[in-house]
Amino acid sequence: MIKVGIVGGTGYTGVELLRLLAVHPDVQLTAITSRKEDGLPVADMFPSLRGRVNLAFSAPDKADLTQCDVVFFATPHGVAMAQAPALLAAGVKVIDLAADFRLKDQATFEQWYKIPHTCPELLKEAVYGLVELNRDAIKGAKLIANPGCYPTTMQLGFYPLLKAGLVDAGGLIADCKSGVSGAGRKAEIATLFSEASDNFKAYGVAGHRHTPETVAQLQNFTDQPVNLIFTPHLVPMIRGMHSTLYARLTRDISNEELQALFEAQYADAAFVDVMPFGSHPETRSTRGSNMLRLALHRNGNTVIVLVVQDNLVKGASGQAVQCMNLMFGLDEGKGLNQVALLP
Ligand SMILES: NC(=O)C1=CN([C@@H]2O[C@H](COP(=O)(O)OP(=O)(O)OC[C@H]3O[C@@H](n4cnc5c(N)ncnc54)[C@H](OP(=O)(O)O)[C@@H]3O)[C@@H](O)[C@H]2O)C=CC1
Ligand SMILES: CC(=O)N[C@@H](CCC(=O)OP(=O)(O)O)C(=O)O
């Protein structure tokens, strides 16, 4: 059994990890932290876990995380970097759901996240946890930087086009929408019911921290300089993300060839569903599941890729469990085969 610790068990990605890992056949939940709920049984806070999780939260400084085989950090940026060096030195693998290890360049991290990086030496060692594009490296990793939710949709949608050299990498556009759980469980005015429901708005238009992450990763797949215009929006739903991606074709290709390209690229990807050309994927077809669905459209020489996922599953905790499975030599889909919830 893999002994698992979770730092930040009271947040949305933390409780999503608990939902997935409580029924994972190879996992023994060993420690779950909360600064505010030290001593409280996990199932008292989350009755959905009654009979499934018998542990209590413990304060981060009381939890002995070195007894774990792997520790997930479902915490704000800056928390994992403070604890990862000691855990790694003790032989514990680390999966960070925040951005502490996503950017290889320290100065870029500090510019976008406005905090100093306290262990820049680990940036090189960290492996970016987007399984479909980085599977082999993840298998041997000790430290995983789990991708951001928007970057997961943008990378999986643009990747086959860039890799095939079919589009102008300097003119990528991503128009993305996220449910409110993407902002986490902490109290904030923007996510109050009366602010976020029956309302719709863009944010981060002048620059969102997921732009440098996505550009840096996409740049690995093309020699052309990548330029991306990314605009996120907050939509009045709880879970779900929909990204509409635009790329200008630089050579002639039929719709059938485009479709075949994506189908071949993701033929072995259990969690990427390439829908028939011209389909309209719905966020609810991924709700509660680790599946990302995409569909291709065409308008003249512009390819439009529609991508949907559950931001808390493939966009965060499901993807992190997919990485854990690979790191421990398991089938990457173990414990992740839930079908989406309808309606
Ligand atoms: N929500 C989403 O869709 C996605 C989130 N992410 C990233 O995952 C991480 C977690 O997000 P999310 O679950 O939404 O966030 P939440 O705000 O819902 O939860 C944060 C958790 O971290 C704990 N925490 C906060 N500060 C500290 C600290 N200094 N030390 C230890 N624990 C702390 C909190 O618990 P307590 O206060 O009880 O200690 C809480 O359990 C973030 O970095 C986020 O950016 C990534 C992809 C998608
Ligand atoms: C709706 C909403 O607010 N979403 C979050 C993204 C959540 C995510 O993926 O986060 P990290 O990169 O922070 O890990 C945001 O735009 O800040």
Q: Evaluate: CB of 318 within 6 angstroms of ligand 1.
A: no
Q: Evaluate: CB of 147 within 6 angstroms of ligand 1.
A: no
- 82 and 177 part of one domain: no
Residues 44-51: what's their mean pLDDT? 98
- Element holding 151 (H helix, E strand): helix 149-163
Q: Tell me which ligand sits closest to the C-alpha of residue 210.
A: 2
- 154 and 274 part of one domain: yes
What per-residue confidence (pLDDT) applies to 309?
98
- 80 and 31 part of one domain: yes
Q: What's the total number of domains in the chain?
A: 2
Q: ω before 41 within 30° of 0 (cis)?
A: no
Centre of ligand 1 to C-alpha 199, Å, is 25
Write down which residue in 88, 109, 125 finishes a domain.
Answer: 125
- 165 and 303 part of one domain: yes
In a domain, 238, yes or no: yes
Q: Evaluate: CB of 232 within 6 angstroms of ligand 2.
A: yes
Closest atom of ligand 2 to CA, residue 315: 9
Q: Whose CA is nearest to atom 19 of ligand 1?
A: 11
- Element holding 45 (H helix, E strand): helix 42-45
Closest atom of ligand 1 to CA, residue 74: 10
Exposed, middle or buried: residue 305 (CB in 10 Å: 0-12, 13-18, 19+)? buried
What per-residue confidence (pLDDT) applies to 277?
98
- 157 and 291 part of one domain: yes
In a domain, 334, yes or no: no
Question: Whole-angstrom Cα distance, residue 53 to residue 174?
Answer: 39
* CB 59 within 8 Å of CB 33: yes
- 118 and 21 part of one domain: yes
In a domain, 343, yes or no: no
Question: Whole-angstrom Cα distance, residue 269 to residue 266?
Answer: 5
Residue 209: CA atoms inside 13 Å, Cβ hemisphere, count?
A: 17
Label residue 34 by pLDDT band (50, 70, 90): very high
Q: Evaluate: CB of 75 within 6 angstroms of ligand 1.
A: yes
Domain containing residue 14: CATH number? 3.40.50.720
**Helix (H/G/I), strand (E/B), else coil: 327:** helix
In a domain, 142, yes or no: no
* CB 183 within 8 Å of CB 201: no
Give me the torsion for CA of 55, 56, 59, 60, rounded to 10°. Answer: 20
What per-residue confidence (pLDDT) applies to 272?
98
pLDDT in tens, 99-122: 999 999 999 999 999 999 999 999
Centre of ligand 2 to C-alpha 8, Å, is 16
Q: Which of 16, 100, 150 to mutate to test the pocket of ligand 2 (most atoms within 8 A of CB)?
A: 150
Q: Which of 33, 37, 75 to mutate to test the pocket of ligand 1 (most atoms within 8 A of CB)?
A: 75
- 285 and 200 part of one domain: yes
- 169 and 297 part of one domain: yes
The rounded percent of the chain whose pLDDT value lies above 70 is: 100
Centre of ligand 1 to C-alpha 76, Å, is 5
Q: Evaluate: CB of 212 within 6 angstroms of ligand 2.
A: no
- 87 and 184 part of one domain: no
In a domain, 319, yes or no: no
Q: Name 223's Cβ contacts closer than 8 Å, sequence gap at least 6.
A: none
Q: What is the DSSP letter of 281?
A: -
Domain containing residue 189: CATH number? 3.30.360.10
pTM: 0.98
Q: Which structural domain range is residue 293 located in?
A: 149-310
The catalytic residue positions are: 149
Question: Whole-angstrom Cα distance, residue 278 to residue 271?
Answer: 20
Centre of ligand 2 to C-alpha 148, Å, is 7
What per-residue confidence (pLDDT) applies to 203?
97
In a domain, 331, yes or no: no
What interface predicted TM-score (ipTM) does this complex get? 0.98
Q: Evaluate: CB of 149 within 6 angstroms of ligand 2.
A: yes
Question: Whole-angstrom Cα distance, residue 203 to residue 196?
Answer: 13
* CB 226 within 8 Å of CB 218: yes
* CB 214 within 8 Å of CB 228: yes
The mean pLDDT of the chain is: 97
In a domain, 130, yes or no: no
Q: Whose CA is nearest to atom 32 of ligand 1?
A: 8
- 99 and 174 part of one domain: no
- 214 and 291 part of one domain: yes
Closest atom of ligand 2 to CA, residue 209: 12
Label residue 241 by pLDDT band (50, 70, 90): very high
- 27 and 167 part of one domain: no
